[in-house]
């Protein structure tokens, strides 16, 4: 696995513990906004660091909208998607797929968030992904309702596999592309990684 692919997989991380998040943030379910709490000393290396941080950030709104439309927040220099943090705060569990019902990625009102299955998530993404052919080597298999990865090698196409999860399909293609094409496949691999980042995957 290349360094870029490994880094992408590492970025698909669960949110911190629910209690810790509730100490960090207050959430308005009607607006979808997160605000910094006055955080306890246990979150910091010293009382001075705690006082300085709270003096600057406590009670302020937090997060920024990424180019792909999702809201990002950072806790202890680690970035998370706001809707994943909110889901963990409210339910106490991580959701692999949290769907924005109205399709607006920055609308994190509780009424607009729902936990969906992998199949439902894939179905919601079909129109935006398969029809626009955003990914190289990954296609929506209509009959099986799954993602298929295949690669062109010399004069023929080679089947790689079929997957429930689009991200796994893309990573499978990228790994095979790196193995088959080496340096010549880097542009395709980077293209796919950029598309995954745009989708917050």
- CATH code, domain carrying 25: 3.90.75
Indicate the SS3 state at residue 42.
helix
Give dist(CA 34, CA 23) in Å, integer. Answer: 12
Write down which residue in 76, 99, 115 finishes a domain.
115
Model pLDDT, residue 103: 76
Pairing of strands 33-36, 78-81: unpaired
124 and 76 share a domain? no
109 and 130 share a domain? no
pTM: 0.59
- Given a cut of 50, whether residue 101 has pLDDT beyond it is yes
Model pLDDT, residue 185: 85
Model pLDDT, residue 117: 67
- Given a cut of 90, whether residue 9 has pLDDT beyond it is no
Instruction: Tell me the pLDDT band of 6, cut-offs 50, 70 and 90.
Output: very low
Check residue 60 and give left, alpha or beta (phi > 0: left; psi -120 to 50: alpha).
Answer: beta
Bridge partners of 36, per DSSP, are 25
Contacts of residue 78, defined as CB under 8 A and 6 or more positions apart, other chains included, come to 13
CA geometry: angle 192, 157, 139, nearest 5 deg? 45
92 and 128 share a domain? no
Model pLDDT, residue 36: 98
51 and 140 share a domain? no
Residue pair 132/169 in contact (Cβ under 8 Å)? The answer is no
Model pLDDT, residue 8: 39
Model pLDDT, residue 60: 97
Please count the structural domains in the chain: 2
69 and 162 share a domain? no
Write down which residue in 115, 149, 177 finishes a domain.
115
102 and 129 share a domain? no
Residue 1 belongs to some domain of the structure: no
Please report, for the domain that includes residue 187, its CATH number: 3.30.730.10
Residue pair 199/68 in contact (Cβ under 8 Å)? The answer is yes
CA geometry: angle 96, 101, 104, nearest 5 deg? 100
Residue 17: domain span: 13-115
């Amino acid at each position: 696995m290349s360094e870029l692919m490994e880094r992408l997989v590492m970025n698909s991380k669960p949110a911190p513990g629910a209690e810790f998040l509730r100490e960090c943030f207050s959430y308005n379910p009607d607006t979808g906004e997160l605000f910094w709490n006055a955080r306890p000393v246990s979150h910091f290396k010293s009382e001075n660091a705690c006082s300085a941080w709270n003096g600057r950030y406590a009670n302020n709104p937090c997060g920024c909208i990424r180019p792909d439309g999702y809201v990002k927040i950072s806790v202890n220099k680690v970035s998370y998607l706001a809707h994943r943090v909110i889901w963990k705060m409210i339910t106490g569990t991580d959701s692999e797929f949290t769907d924005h019902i109205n399709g607006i990625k920055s609308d994190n009102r509780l009424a607009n968030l729902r936990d969906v299955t992998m199949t439902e998530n894939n179905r919601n993404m079909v129109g935006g992904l398969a029809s626009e052919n955003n990914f190289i080597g990954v296609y929506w298999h209509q009959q099986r309702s799954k993602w298929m990865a295949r690669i062109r090698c010399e004069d023929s196409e080679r089947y790689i596999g079929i997957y429930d999860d689009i991200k796994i399909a893309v990573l499978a293609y990228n790994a095979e592309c790196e193995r088959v094409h080496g340096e010549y496949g880097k542009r395709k691999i980077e293209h796919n990684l950029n598309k995954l980042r745009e989708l917050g995957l």
